[in-house]
Structure 1
Amino acid sequence: MAEHNHSNSSLQPILDLLFAAGYVESDAPPSQIIAGGISWAVAALNANTTTAIYDESIEDSLRLVGCPHLLLPSHIRDLDTEALLPVVQWLTSRIPSHHVNEVCDAENAIEVDEHGTSIEALSGNLDELNHRKMNAVEQLDQLRERISKEGVDSGVQKLISSMMSLKDLERQESRFLFNRDSKHSELQAEISELERKRENDTDSQSLPDGLHQSLSESLEKINLMKKKLAARLRDIVVIRRQIDDLPCQSELNQYESRLSELNDQIQGKHRQTRKYYATYNALLEIKEMMLKETSLLNSIISQFQDAFSSTDGRIRLVHSMEGIVNGSQQKLEKVQVGLQEEEKIRNDLKDRYAAAIGEQKRCYSLMKAFQVKCQSSK
Structure 2
Amino acid sequence: MGNEDSSEEVCSSSGDMVTNLKASIRELSGKVREQNQRKCDVRDKLQQLRERINAEGVDVSVQEELIPLLRSLKELEKHESEVRSKCDAKRSALEDAVCDLEERVAKGEIPEEDLDVLLVESLDHLTSAKKELAATLREIVSLKRQIDDVPCQSELLQYERRFSELNVCIQEKLQQTRKLYGTYNALLEIKDLMLKEISLLNSIGSQFQDVIGTPGGRVKLIDSMEGVMKGIQQKLGKVQLGLQEEQRRCDASTEKYTAAAAEQRKCYTVLRAFQEECTRNDRLRSQLSAISNTTGSKQGM
Q: Tell me the TM-score normalized by structure 2.
A: 0.44
* Max Rg structure: 2
Q: Tell me the TM-score normalized by structure 1.
A: 0.37
Larger RCO (CA under 8 A, 6+ residues apart): 2
Return the structure number with greater helix share. 2
